[in-house]
Amino acid sequence: MKFKTFAAFVGPSVFMMLLFIAAPLVSVFIQSFQVTQPVLEQVEVETCTPGFLTQTCTTEIKTVPVLGEDGKTITETRWVGLESYRNVLQMDKFWEAVGNGSWNDIMQIDFWRALRFTLSFTLLTLPLVIGVGLAIALAVNNAARTIRGPVIFVSLLPFIITPVIGSLSIYWLFVGDGILTAMMERWTGTNISMFAQAWTIELLMYFYRVWHVAPFAFVIFYAGLQTVNMDTLESAVIDGASRWERLRHVIVPHLMPLIVFIALIHLMDCYRVFEEIVGFRSQAHVISLQWLTYDFMTPDDAGNRAISRASASAMLTMIGIVFLLVLPLRRTWRDHKGSAH
């Protein structure tokens, strides 16, 4: 009786959970094929200006939005198919730039400029995060027990700090007469502007991401190191294996599932990079796909939002994440099947 009750409870619960997860995605997907615009009408407007003897009046036709009884603008929603995706991708300009062999022209298109940075940021920081996190974990694991606690605490501080606050902290160290900029200017004897060109901004973003996320990898790796078979390590030492050989042939294979796990989390999180764009105020030089979606949602001077293009940009971002996750997920599935057999 209890089993039936539990089964009856789990079924609707799982369904509601899936519905809760899928509902926003379905809504964004549908909105990417729709455009909502205000209903407009043409009205005749007469404008009069006072003269010396008589008024001068002019009549012109203006297009204005239709207001409802509540005083709000009336809108209409229509299906536009893939038009929003075409507006975001701008494939005509892209192929024209490719035909001309002009990389600079491609980088003038917002989506492809954002995609270039997002992919570079994600793929370049991934090995750095894994390498730095593993190095910290090995150092802490080999440190004296009396200092492990303080070292772990200090190592976790960058991960505890809120991302926007952390990026702003790095920004103020280098912007204008920041502490580090002033030190470098005094050392080199030249004026340094770290935020006047894109490549220096990107370097600071890479540094911040590794500084912020490496502690997460460190915690995971440190926990994994506690489960390494000490008999295997001792046998490797007896066989004359060097420290590097023990790391390569014993420790890294043991930590491989954790490496894949960290890679999955990093790819999903880093592909949605947004805080660095805001914190480093890099919109004039560097933008990401997530920031591009946010920009579409920002009201223009008339108060209108490009919701359809924002939805299309969000869907393209989601598709990119899925493609990035295919390789580590395939490895995980292959390892799972191998262990099952």
CB 263 within 8 A of CB 126: yes
Buried b (16+ CB within 10 A) or exposed e, 219-253: bbbbebbeeeeeeeeeebeeeebeeeebeeebbee
pLDDT given at position 126:
94
- Reported as a single tens digit per residue, the pLDDT across 261-313 is 999 999 988 998 898 898 888 888 899 999 999 998 888 776 677 888 889 99
The model's pTM is 0.80
pLDDT given at position 14:
60
pLDDT given at position 11:
60
In the chain, at which residue ranges do the beta strands (DSSP E only) sit? 34-38, 40-49, 56-65, 75-79
pLDDT given at position 192:
80
pLDDT given at position 217:
93
pLDDT given at position 6:
42
| Residue-range domains of the chain with CATH | 103-339 (1.10.3720.10)
What are the DSSP calls for 302-331, one per residue? Answer: TS---HHHHHHHHHHHHHHHHHHHHHHHHH
pLDDT given at position 1:
47
Residues of the chain under the 50 pLDDT cut? 1-4, 6-7, 10
Gap between the Cα atoms of 59 and 334, Å rounded? 74
